[in-house]
Amino acid sequence: MWENIREAFDGIRSHKLRSALTMLGIIIGIASLITISSTIMGTNEQIKQNLIGSGNNTVEIVLYQGDYPFDAAYQAAPDYVPRLDRTILREIKAIPEIESASLFLKRDAYGMLWNGSTGLNQGSIYGVDENYLSVYGYRIRAGRGFVPADYSEYRKVCLVDRITSETLFLGESPIGKTIEISGEPFTVVGEFTQSSAFVPQITSIDDYYTYTDRSGGKVLIPMELWSVLFRFDQPVSLVCRATGTDAMTQAGKAAADLLNSLYTVEEPEVKYKSQDLLEQAKKLQELSNATSSQLIWVAGISLLVGGIGVMNIMLVSVTERTPEIGLKKALGAKRSKISLQFLTEAGVLTSIGGLLGVLAGIGLAYVVSRVSGVPIFISWYIVVLTVVFSFVVGLFFGAVPAVQAARLNPIDALRRE
């Protein structure tokens, strides 16, 4: 085998230009596959990051009426909807895929948040329990967070995020100042922010609507104060942090099933569903993959053309080395040995082309990323797979020349000298 490999390298060195042109098709095909796959995987990862956020494996379970979220601003929840309180969190946290959980209520902030004559038109008001900040991975940037007395003594205090602070206080510190929420005065005791920075890539109107709630301001109040502001019965929602990104779908489904098991009626019109951002990401990824698969087929065609080029040059090599083949067979070389020699040469030729194609593909992927701003993700699994695939292409297209060489009659071959 090693002798065959050495002879293959000798043959490549003796016909450098011809070998280079033969490998060019393989190089282009492999480089195209690497570039496209890296771009697809990078785009898919960006989709996941945009929807889920960096390291924030949270799933919200909210009340739905049919296929749409239940709007408590216009109607009270039906009597059969289970009334959630903190006691349900123990059962939720017992789900293996869930790391932590929190209860919250939510209302659009439009027209309800004011600092004097300055209002917050885009954002939300949240009534939260003690676990909300930790579940979402928020940290206190200035001031303090909620303390037990805020809940037990019904203190009118609130936390604001940076967007709310900049909008209502125009760059001044909000700590200790008073804002009006639905006509009630609340003292700002802290400003919170995400523990890990996350900036979604908004490139279309659909992206804008997807991230509107994330990019708008947030104001948090103790959930015990909710009835003071909004005097109607509003269902409580749940947010849980999954043990990992891949566990989000299962965690959300298990939590929703648990909440729906509390119903006293069968097949309710209004029931809890998980707002599965991971599932949304997967759907967008599937769309991206479907669009890009056509490009992969084009790259595959160029690889096929490269393989045909390898077969052609190996047939030429068989013709040129006919006397050599005749001499080896006259000295007792078996057909299998002759076939293996040419298969090895074809495999070495395409493997070198595959390695060069990988390097070219990685370089081209970074160029595409730099020029277009599209993220890339280099998978070493794909790299190894493409090199192996290029070797297989060499064996496949080198089979015909190898068989032809093995079937040569030694007497006829020697006469061509």
Q: What is the pLDDT of residues 162-196, one digit of tens each?
A: 989 999 998 899 999 999 998 899 999 999 988 75
Q: Fill in the amino acid letter for 286.
A: E
Residue 117 CA to chain centroid, in angstroms? 43
Distance CA 399, CA 8 (A): 15
CA-based max dimension of the chain? 107
Q: How many Cα atoms sit within 13 Å of 197 on the Cβ side?
A: 2
Exposed / middle / buried, residue 205 (Cβ in 10 Å: 0-12, 13-18, 19+): exposed
Phi, psi angle pair for 59, to nearest 5°: -130, 130
pTM more than 0.85: no
Greater pLDDT, 40 or 358: 358
Task: Express each pLDDT in 351-365 by its tens digit.
Answer: 888 888 888 888 888
Closest CA to 48 of 238, 291, 246: 246
What SS3 state is found at 278? helix
In the chain, what are the helix, strand and coil shares in percent, each to the nearest 5? 55, 20, 25
Under the banding of pLDDT at 50, 70 and 90, the label for residue 210 is very low
Closest CA to 241 of 369, 69, 74, 98: 98
For the chain, give the percent of residues with pLDDT over 90: 24
Mean pLDDT of the chain: 78
Q: In the predicted model, is pLDDT for residue 257 greater than 70?
A: yes
Show Cβ contacts of residue 42 under 8 Å, excluding neighbours closer than 6 positions.
369, 374, 375, 376, 377
Q: Average pLDDT, stretch 239-245?
A: 86
Closest CA to 402 of 283, 310, 264: 310
Q: Average pLDDT, stretch 374-398?
A: 76
For the chain, give the percent of residues with pLDDT over 70: 72
Task: Express each pLDDT in 8-22 by its tens digit.
Answer: 667 677 777 777 877
Q: Can you give the pLDDT at residue 403? A: 67
Greater pLDDT, 73 or 348: 348
What SS3 state is found at 216? coil
Q: In the predicted model, is pLDDT for residue 202 greater than 50?
A: no
